[in-house]
Structure 1
Amino acid sequence: MQLSSLLVAVALMIALMICGSSADASSSERVFLLKRDPVSMLSRKQSNKSTRMASALPPYKTLYFDQKLDHFDFTNDKTFKQRYLVCDSFVGKMTPSTPIFFYTGNEGDIVTFYENTGLMFDTAPQFNALIIFVEHRYYGVSNPFGPVNSFTPENIKWLSSEQALADYSYFITEMFGLDEKRTNPVIAFGGSYGGMLSSWWRMKYPHIVDGAIAASAPIFQFTGLTAPNVYNQICTEDFKKSSNLAKYHETCDAVIKNGLSILNQYYQNNNPQILQKLSSQFRICSPGIRTSADVNQLISWLTQAYNTLPMIDYPYPANFLMPLPGYPIQVICDRISTIMASEKVTTDTYLKAVLEGANVYYNYTGTSTCNNLTQPDSPSLGDDGWEYQTCNEMVMPIGNYPQTDMFIPAPWDLQAWISYCQQKWKVTPRTNWAITNYGGKRAILEATNIVFSNGDLDPWHGGGVLPGMKVNEKVKVVYIEGGAHHLDLRSSNPLDPQSVRLARALEVKEITAWLNEFSAKRGLKMKY
């Protein structure tokens, strides 16, 4: 999400994730795009003091925990300060049976996730729950070696999902007791990479976490489990479904594809006159488009908009990566069809249309006077950290394939990614480690007390746990029609579709069951 995740919030989470982009066999220098959780793309400076949110969310206290640097090296006793946020507004009086609602921080500033996980605050009053958000190591301000030195090849090696899950487990045992001494049930919440962490935490540490809400968690977005064309195919289908064929005969995705293809031809031709014209057509900030590499940057800029928008296609106006209207893809396709229907169609018409669509993403408010192709969506929040993770264990293949999507052809190239990772980070990606470590599709046959939710608009659902898959009877699978990236984790809204209201109701029902199961196993008389 721009907000971090996705959605930064997020997001990345995005969410989270890499896409090899090489336009054709002769252009191997084309850039790699880093797919992020929308929420994780937003960076904000926060006070270390108790902070009250400007929104309707309750206040939180900012605290720090002395976290072990390496949980798996018994000769290393180094620690670092890990930030966490605590909200006790719904607790009343803390008791040995007070539930702990725990957000598994993912690839971004933890404050951003606090601001975009309204489900926890909507649900906590029913259970008088204590809410805790723990920041993922190497993100936000939880950098073991400081904001700069943490991201050198020699210092970043302690960044992994395994260390993060051990962080959360050590935090719980230190704060609430080890084994039978813990009487407070723990429910994990997470979206995108955070949802992956929540589900894996329950799978790997079932004695510490008693249930998990894993929203938009692409735990199958790995080699051999999900084809690399799926993400962008879903993006393309989202635009196709929003086509206004009553106004113009060509589908929305087809117009975008044609516009990007025209630009790719210009990239290959490298005609100075055309390059100068593109600067004017796309209102590029000075110094404009001067080389074919600049055209490539323009294509990447447009692609970033069009394959991020499906993640944040929410039913109401939202202010994430950029201020957006409700259902922005529908707005874009309506604008594109209007342009295509209002004039004689030429190559310039396609370019005008593809820019108009991107303007909804980058400049919906109309305040920008020119388009800066190199400025990031937000101040760099964890980009280095997430890139490193995609270079060690989080290798999630995504590519562009002309048979199934609207983007410039760029098949997933593992060898090119390995070379990049070795050169920059001095590591070699382990493509199968996530499946080896956490399990693939067999893992969900053994897992218990997890809700996996996915929205049909979200391109990450292709790598998620979906209806029809074989799962343990104590794992619930929710598919949200009209849902974008972890929509169910967001605060309730009058414009929410009925599907997400039902999803949240099921999640609350499962949380109730998990809490009562914990109480019964512990021999407590508490009924939640």
Structure 2
Amino acid sequence: MRSQWAVMILLIDCAFSGRVLWKMKERALAAQEWTAREHLAARADSTVRPVEGDIHQPLDHFTHTGTRTFAQKYLVNEEYWERPHGPVFLYIEGEGALSEFSVLAGHHVAMAKEHGALLVALEHRFYGRSIISGGLETQNLQYLSSQQALADLAAFHQHISQKYSLTHRNVWISFGGSYAGALSAWFRGKFPHLVYGAVASSAPVQAKLDFSSYTTVVGRSLMDESVGGSEKCVKAVYEAFAAVEAALLRGEETQVGKDFGCCDTPKSLEDQTEFLQSLADIFMGTVQYNEEVGPLTIARLCDIMTNQSKAYAEEEEAYDRLVKLTAIYRTVEKEPCLDVSYEKTILHLNKTTHVGSGYRQWFYQTCTEFGFYQTCEDATCPFSRMMTLQTQTQLCPLLFSIPQHTLLSNIDFTNQYYGGDQPQTQRVLYVNGDTDPWMALSVVRNGTNEDKHRAILIHSTAHCADMNPTRARDRTSLLQARKDIEILVGAWVKRAAQERTV
């Protein structure tokens, strides 16, 4: 049981788009603190506990006129460190709160034990508790960016080096998953003198306004027989969403709302779009974290959608099967009803007095840096065509007064600044699962010469799966990928040690 929850905890850093997906993340965050406490209690044999501290960071690293600072949380685990010259493994947190578990479990922790590494982790600014008073106000969110986050990491490097009397012989390797995976790659790219190598798991390094390829990969994964998908499954999904849209067009929104257990009747066009996005999120979340989080998998989802589920032996229409699937989702997530109110979504995103899970902060970053809007206007998308780019980008001016016409230039800047999916960096390992929709924005091909071992693509594997502790049921492809990561990280540590003893 502990290993199952551990997997969930290590996945919560990964990026979400729709509201239902974000709710899944919030529930994982709630479980995180309980699981971390249980894990610590179970380790009575160990006398070492993570050290928690704060580093006081400038609110703005790039102008020297201001004096405002904020306290940024970090964690240190010295349990495996071979003093004084052992390496430093840096775990980078993304768009969520930093947990003690980040330096207690995971593939990077197993490698730290093998190499005698000091484990350190830093919470991202404006997430968790690393935020100034009033930090969610729009005028303060201007200090939330990946560039500021990288500068935070550089200052943290100096802080840890001074605190633990580290020298050039202590090689640093960074690790991160999803957005934090991109930060890991970018930290190596922008500060190569600070971090010797970087592992970037499921890292979307290519910013993109219209991320339609996300739903394309979801559709392809739902057809993949190696993970329990089929052409029949995708066809059933198409049929189900078409049936729901047809019912709404016939003015049957009251019955639709009852069928799917909606908290409110989706009467307005905005509510109907919210509703259809929520239904799509169930499929998108299941694919993204297939076999890694919760009881819903592609195989089980497709069994339900193709009348193969043992629980429902009778032949049903695609609409009814989608109703059943939604009920199962609500049971799993302990949701009494499906919230489809567009107005409530806006109110939630406009909250500036409660830090919460980071939904508002992350949406701000999509407007200012990344896009990542998962649309369904492409013919390959198996969901509703009402999930348009316009319905998502219109929130940027509404929430933050960021004009829609500026989004493309913001994203272009990000790609120019970091190199997009053609980064000119060395000793960065990009790890992706081919079931994961985010692989479309990562690096999946090897380079040449010294950079010839820069990509690992894992067959039938989901988002950030390589970061989790090894389980008996892990696929052979995933087990092999972890071995390949270990070999490369080991080579980095050995090479750096040879270079730095001279």
What TM-score results when the alignment is normalised by the length of structure 2? 0.83
The aligned runs of 1:110-509 (5 Å cut-off) are 110-111=98-99, 114=102, 118-145=106-133, 149-177=134-162, 181-222=167-208, 228-242=211-225, 251-269=232-250, 271=251, 274-285=252-263, 288=265, 293-314=270-291, 318=293, 323-325=294-296, 328-338=297-307, 343=314, 349-364=317-332, 370-373=337-340, 380-410=356-386, 413=389, 419-427=394-402, 428-429=406-407, 430-443=410-423, 446-467=424-445, 473=451, 475-509=453-487
Query: CA distance change for structure 1 residues 170 and 291 in 2, over 3 Å: closer, same or farther?
Result: closer
Is the contact between residue 393 and residue 434 of structure 1 (CA under 8 Å) also seen in structure 2?
A: yes
Structure 2 counterpart of 1:14: 15
Amino acid of the structure 2 residue aligned with 1:363 = T
Amino acid of the structure 1 residue aligned with 2:212 = N
SS at match of 1:158: coil
Is the contact between residue 14 and residue 35 of structure 1 (CA under 8 Å) also seen in structure 2?
A: no
Structure 2 counterpart of 1:27: none
In 1, Cα distance between the equivalents of 2:431 and 2:227? 29
Is the contact between residue 6 and residue 105 of structure 2 (CA under 8 Å) also seen in structure 1?
A: no
The aligned runs of 1:23-172 (5 Å cut-off) are 42-44=28-30, 53=39, 59-91=49-81, 94-95=83-84, 97-111=85-99, 114=102, 118-145=106-133, 149-172=134-157
Structure 1 counterpart of 2:351: none
Select between 107-116 and 204-213 the one with higher mean Cα deviation: 107-116
After TM superposition, give the deviation of residue 342 of structure 1 in Å: 5.1
SS at match of 2:411: coil
Is the contact between residue 202 and residue 431 of structure 2 (CA under 8 Å) also seen in structure 1?
A: yes
1:22-50 deviation digits (Å, cap 9, x = unpaired): xxxxxxxxxxx697697677434999xx9
SS at match of 2:440: helix
Is the contact between residue 451 and residue 475 of structure 1 (CA under 8 Å) also seen in structure 2?
A: yes
Query: CA distance change for structure 1 residues 363 and 453 in 2, over 3 Å: closer, same or farther?
Result: same
After TM superposition, give the deviation of residue 110 of structure 1 in Å: 1.1
Residues matched between the structures, number:
475
Query: CA distance change for structure 1 residues 10 and 472 in 2, over 3 Å: closer, same or farther?
Result: farther
After TM superposition, give the deviation of residue 267 of structure 1 in Å: 2.8
Is the contact between residue 59 and residue 143 of structure 2 (CA under 8 Å) also seen in structure 1?
A: yes
Identity %: 23
Structure 2 counterpart of 1:515: 493
Query: CA distance change for structure 1 residues 480 and 158 in 2, over 3 Å: closer, same or farther?
Result: same
SS at match of 2:432: strand
Is the contact between residue 9 and residue 112 of structure 1 (CA under 8 Å) also seen in structure 2?
A: no
In 2, Cα distance between the equivalents of 1:140 and 1:117? 20
After TM superposition, give the deviation of residue 473 of structure 1 in Å: 2.2
1:85-116 deviation digits (Å, cap 9, x = unpaired): 2222222x531x12111111110011187289
Gaps of at least 5 residues in structure 1 are: 20-32
After TM superposition, give the deviation of residue 333 of structure 1 in Å: 0.9
What TM-score results when the alignment is normalised by the length of structure 1? 0.79
SS at match of 1:251: helix
Which is richer in helix?
A: 2
Amino acid of the structure 1 residue aligned with 2:254 = Q
Amino acid of the structure 2 residue aligned with 1:94 = R
Query: CA distance change for structure 1 residues 180 and 456 in 2, over 3 Å: closer, same or farther?
Result: same
After TM superposition, give the deviation of residue 220 of structure 1 in Å: 2.2
SS at match of 1:236: helix
Query: CA distance change for structure 1 residues 413 and 456 in 2, over 3 Å: closer, same or farther?
Result: same
SS at match of 1:396: strand
Query: CA distance change for structure 1 residues 296 and 8 in 2, over 3 Å: closer, same or farther?
Result: farther
After TM superposition, give the deviation of residue 278 of structure 1 in Å: 2.3
After TM superposition, give the deviation of residue 296 of structure 1 in Å: 3.5
In 2, Cα distance between the equivalents of 1:355 and 1:489? 34
In 2, Cα distance between the equivalents of 1:523 and 1:266? 71
Amino acid of the structure 2 residue aligned with 1:239 = L
Is the contact between residue 228 and residue 399 of structure 1 (CA under 8 Å) also seen in structure 2?
A: yes
After TM superposition, give the deviation of residue 175 of structure 1 in Å: 2.1
Amino acid of the structure 1 residue aligned with 2:494 = N
Is the contact between residue 228 and residue 412 of structure 1 (CA under 8 Å) also seen in structure 2?
A: no
Is the contact between residue 99 and residue 184 of structure 1 (CA under 8 Å) also seen in structure 2?
A: yes
SS at match of 1:72: coil
SS at match of 1:154: helix
